[in-house]
Amino acid sequence: MADIFETGALAGKKVVITAGPTREAIDPVRYISNHSSGKMGYALAEAAAEAGAETILISGPVSLTPPDRVRTIAVTSAQEMYEAALHEADGSELFIASAAVADYRPVQTSQQKIKKDAAEMTIELVKNPDIVSAVAALANRPFTVGFAAETANLENYARGKLERKNLDLVIANDVSDRTIGFNSDDNEVLVVEMNTSEAIPKINKSILARQLIAKIAEMTNPTK
């Protein structure tokens, strides 16, 4: 494993990684979001930089310190993450979508704080653009890796995302187990390719990130 980093397995490659949650504003003080900590994406960015890549980390709001040797772009909403990701991914060699992008945003964002006058209220939502699908559809597409956060049927749903989004690899994790994934320091994943899958048992996210970057480097540059 150490060899991968000493030889700079991703040297000369531009790698773009999305991380963390997004926030979808309801009004100036409220938003819709999720429990993503950003730890997996930050660990992947650190591992990519270690492997010699020019690494761009597009991050939603998290309480983590940006890794050394990584250019971090801070975004808030899915729409902002989409724009930054498409801009950076064009001409890159590798794109890893680890962000937990909010699937929907409020149709309207109130410019003023909403007062609790009404006994009931409804927030109408509209779907956000799918960032990783848009990157995978670029004419000059990078090797494109997605995550799949599932609470059931892990492999089936992950394979569905691989095919539907035209991805090269999907890293699936079970988010119903709170000791792994989302807010945890550890993760346990199933790495899903078109014809195979490989389970990686529960392990610290930094170690897992290095293993995943080594595997991806091997897939993108098998002769090295």
103 binds Ca ion (CB under 5 A): yes
Q: How far is it, in rounded angstroms, from Cα 144 to Cα 165? A: 10
Residue 102 CB, shortest distance to ligand CTP, in Å, is 7
With CB under 5 to 8 Å by kind, the binding choice for 128 among Ca ion, ligand CTP, none is ligand CTP
Structure tokens at 60: 């939603």
Q: Return the range that interacts with ligand CTP (CB under 6 A); candidates 33-41, 62-70, 113-121, 126-134.
A: 126-134
Q: What is the DSSP letter of 20?
A: S
Structure tokens at 223: 């002769």
Q: In one letter, which amino acid is 91?
A: G
204 is catalytic: no
39 binds ligand CTP (CB under 6 A): no
Tell me the DSSP string of 101-125: --SEEES---SSPPPS-SS-----E
Q: How far is it, in rounded angstroms, from Cα 139 to Cα 134? A: 10
With CB under 5 to 8 Å by kind, the binding choice for 132 among Ca ion, ligand CTP, none is ligand CTP
Closest CA to 148 of 110, 99, 114: 99
Which of 56, 149, 190, 216 is close enough to bind ligand CTP by CB under 6 A?
149
80 binds Ca ion (CB under 5 A): no
Q: At what angle do helices 205-220 and 39-50 cross, to 10 degrees?
A: 50
Which of 58, 131, 154, 216 is close enough to bind ligand CTP by CB under 6 A?
131
Q: Return the range that interacts with Ca ion (CB under 5 A); candidates 19-27, 29-37, 96-104, 206-214.
A: 96-104
Which residues contact Ca ion by CB under 5 A?
103
Catalytic residues: 34
